Structure 1
């Protein structure tokens, strides 16, 4: 993506850097003026969703990123439950503060082995950016692009992006949308859709880093995780799936019974945890069967005994990538100046399995002209 000064132009750059408290702060303490800028010639802003229950979600159209989610704890105090930055300058500075905080990922979430894929009989070499693999759409994936934003109402934001043929090596001109809706039962409902003019592959997701503890400056390993999955796809030391599907039973990957992360995240005798310094793996969801996902059943949940905040995940996707922020601890000051440590949060990314374009027996990410890609995930918050 290059240097920040090549991204942010004109007066918007000054606004992003020099803005102070504008008196129009969000519930999460964000200043919309700190997101008011222009990147690659396109307008960037901060959009706020609110419901009658008092929940608030802030999203920027730069990368389609969820910047903050404010929900009540058991004492009815509002808590921001996602990691991120409080200004567009840091989000856009991929050199000094790189992150995928809260992003709407495309074209292909997760990894494709060596960036090589065959689509409609033709071989393609995708741009690589992670241990020689293509990760999250490549080095200039959608998390680094500006979506066109339409705020439909106080509770709904629609983001649209047009990805040209050859974008990071992917074939086909793709038009994709991400619709974020905040419902009255404190659910952030996310719908991803796409069409193409040439056979291609699509795998979108939201990449929020959830921290329910109320203290993102400390590890969140006391959070209790549940994943409704009997199997997972192991990976090698480059985080690439080996092509196997293994049972979780008898391993630290078994979260069919809710348990705190600290019970297993440090078990380096288990090679999968040692390689990843925690969890960065795809679970094969029990909620997906015979080519269809049941987004009415709980796919996963996360709970903080400290705040009582309970998060449930519902999706139609076959897989869930659970990532425990193993690369945090960089010393970078983030929202409100807080420096996030390793394992401060958990990502719950609903998606196709990693490298599924190269595994024909796995659920397919192929999208053809005349078809519509559809992916749904809902993050429901409550108190226990």
Structure 2
């Protein structure tokens, strides 16, 4: 797991310092936003620097949640960034979730390009596929729900087909309301995972620092420290559609994608790595040159992509170019940079499929039961219902893509993968930048 914060070749500007003469003004504002929690104040942080356009940050409430262990009621905070280039981002303290990313197209039209929900109940529904969430302790899968560390075997919770662990277990980091700290136009969210949480050793203190820049970069900096040796692999699970979050699979197929990777990790039917690698040359996974997503997906075995791409690094092992995605019609461009060794490229293959039929299960019961029973029947041929998202949007299969920067999946069980072990006294560091732009005529 990389702990370097050095900037690699091809990295965007990493200058986080404020321009000379800039200051941050904090003032109370008369918020007209509905106060949906006990948060009664909002603040506006205005970067008054004369060199870079200003970025503002406002804070308000986004409802309440129950702590998953204690049951205590907690207020969820919402953070909204806005820059003068027309981009805005919203994050909530629950799950450190990115809920909104609004970016302009080539004509200045602004659309929200990430999938999500309008309220807390939406994010707590069982069919929420981790929209925008911060994932931990271990993103992706832990094969067999077990691993051996320093000669001791650990059994973690199994929430994937009762055989493996997925995205941190039954109550992962995405199910907690994180503590929030504001520093100028940056927000740091923190969470403490106790020793034994979901079966993992050591108490782990994690944080993610979010900030929107004036040039349409949204930056996330993950950090973690542990009291005992433990595996760690954090990520953000945002679902993107550069045509707009509600436009569905037809627009996703028109996206053009390139990923800086020469190989992917080989996996079995459960997406558990074998420890081997597959060179992408001559396969549908060769995205080293830009390819239209629809035709590339159609050539894969499962008619979709859900694979860890092993990023090609230069001599500098810091933040480097990861992927570029273009939506030609709108002109929107997303570039991703990270210091991690891999990125999970996922095309929402497991979202509800409107073309999939649900076959009713046969009932083994007397004939009279068929006549007198009162339970609702599943009509033959009923469509797999979509996930209802923001503004009533219908989210279905292939309606978005994810670029989850990460260590290789199940690295704790694969000795030839980059180490996922975080030792006491060391610090886990993970940087990711989402940089938005538009195609120029």
Please give the range of the TM-score, normalised by the shorter of the 2 chains: 0.7 to 0.9
What are the equivalent positions in structure 2 for 1:87-126 lying under 5 Å apart?
A: 87-94=119-126, 97-126=127-156
Q: Does 1:140 align with 2:164?
A: no
Q: Secondary structure at the match of 1:302?
A: strand
Task: Measure the CA separation in 2 of the matches of 1:320 and 1:59.
Answer: 22
Q: Does 1:283 align with 2:295?
A: no
5+ long unaligned stretches in structure 2? 1-34, 38-58, 353-384
Rg larger in structure: 2
Q: Does 1:294 align with 2:309?
A: no
Quote the offset at 1:32 in angstroms. Answer: 6.1
Per-residue deviation, residues 211-250 of structure 1 (Å, max 9, x unmatched): 1012623211111111000010122211212221110000
What are the equivalent positions in structure 2 for 1:43-58 lying under 5 Å apart?
A: 43-58=75-90
Name the counterpart of 1:383: 438
Q: Secondary structure at the match of 2:198?
A: helix
Task: Measure the CA separation in 1 of the matches of 2:411 and 2:427.
Answer: 19
Q: Does 1:204 align with 2:234?
A: yes
Quote the offset at 1:288 in angstroms. Answer: 6.2
Q: Secondary structure at the match of 2:321?
A: coil
What are the equivalent positions in structure 2 for 1:343-354 lying under 5 Å apart?
A: 343-354=398-409
Q: 2:277 aligns with which of 241, 245, 248?
A: 245
What are the equivalent positions in structure 2 for 1:2-13 lying under 5 Å apart?
A: none
Task: Measure the CA separation in 2 of the matches of 1:327 and 1:151.
Answer: 36
Q: In the superposition, relative to structure 1, how do residues 138 and 122 fare at CA in structure 2: closer, same or farther (>3 Å)?
A: same
Quote the offset at 1:16 in angstroms. Answer: 6.5
Q: Does 1:308 align with 2:331?
A: yes
Name the counterpart of 1:374: 429
Task: Measure the CA separation in 2 of the matches of 1:262 and 1:228.
Answer: 19
Q: 2:292 aligns with which of 257, 260, 263?
A: 260
Task: Measure the CA separation in 2 of the matches of 1:55 and 1:136.
Answer: 29
Q: 2:246 aligns with which of 212, 216, 223?
A: 216
Q: Secondary structure at the match of 2:391?
A: helix
RMSD: 1.8
Q: Secondary structure at the match of 2:171?
A: coil
Task: Measure the CA separation in 2 of the matches of 1:215 and 1:108.
Answer: 27
Q: In the superposition, relative to structure 1, how do residues 245 and 137 fare at CA in structure 2: closer, same or farther (>3 Å)?
A: same
TM-score by length of 1: 0.86
Q: Contact 1:356–1:362 (CA<8 Å) still a contact in 2? A: yes
Task: Measure the CA separation in 1 of the matches of 2:154 and 2:174.
Answer: 22
Name the counterpart of 1:23: none
Q: 1:36 aligns with which of 17, 39, 63?
A: 63
Q: Secondary structure at the match of 2:387?
A: coil
Q: 2:258 aligns with which of 226, 229, 235?
A: 226
Task: Measure the CA separation in 2 of the matches of 1:178 and 1:144.
Answer: 15
TM-score by length of 2: 0.75
Q: Contact 2:264–2:307 (CA<8 Å) still a contact in 1? A: yes
Q: Secondary structure at the match of 1:177?
A: strand
Q: Contact 1:216–1:345 (CA<8 Å) still a contact in 2? A: no
Q: In the superposition, relative to structure 1, how do residues 215 and 305 fare at CA in structure 2: closer, same or farther (>3 Å)?
A: farther
Per-residue deviation, residues 280-300 of structure 1 (Å, max 9, x unmatched): 1000000266xx6331x3211
Name the counterpart of 1:157: 187
Equivalent pairs counted in the alignment come to 344
Name the counterpart of 2:12: none
